[in-house]
Structure 1
């Protein structure tokens, strides 16, 4: 199964998206965007940067858990993962984004109520 981007509108009127793996699990979440078009640009940035060398950075949170961020070429974070118990699990999450993001379909739910 391939992945998909799920685009939604938050209760504050802003837009955000998640990248779901083939099993439906969230592997990457975006920041919130004021405009629908900006969120779509964010999705395209994830597609493009997911396959770029050096785009992923694994970090450790203050609670000892690990997560990763996906950065654009300008260094801006375009997506962040959930928390993982180990750095190796976070690396597997990066690999999942690399596999799923380029060809993921778009499910735009932003026209429905948040």
Structure 2
């Protein structure tokens, strides 16, 4: 099963998304958005930017 984005309304009636892996585990969750459209734009941003995202290792003191 492929991963999926779930779009939902939180307890404060704000829109959020979470990214679930194929095994159903949540691997990322968004901030709260005021509108459904803004949350969908957040999903699109992750979809567009993640394939080329670099990995940067951050250590204490650097």
Whether TM exceeds 0.5 here: the answer is: yes
Structure 2 unmatched runs, 5+: none
Match of 1:112 in 2: 60
Structure 1 unmatched runs, 5+: 1-51
Runs of 4+ with >6 A deviation? none
The Cα offsets for residues 21-46 of structure 1, whole Å up to 9 and x where unpaired, read as xxxxxxxxxxxxxxxxxxxxxxxxxx
1:77 paired with 2:15, answer no
The Cα offsets for residues 43-63 of structure 1, whole Å up to 9 and x where unpaired, read as xxxxxxxxx6x6100110111
Match runs of 1:17-96 below 5 Å: 55-96=4-45
| More strand, by proportion | 1
**Structure 1 residue 85: Cα displacement:** 0.2
Match of 1:47 in 2: none
Q: TM-score, normalized by length of structure 1?
A: 0.49
Q: TM-score, normalized by length of structure 2?
A: 0.87
Match of 2:51 in 1: 102
Bigger relative contact order (CA 8 A; separation at least 6): 1
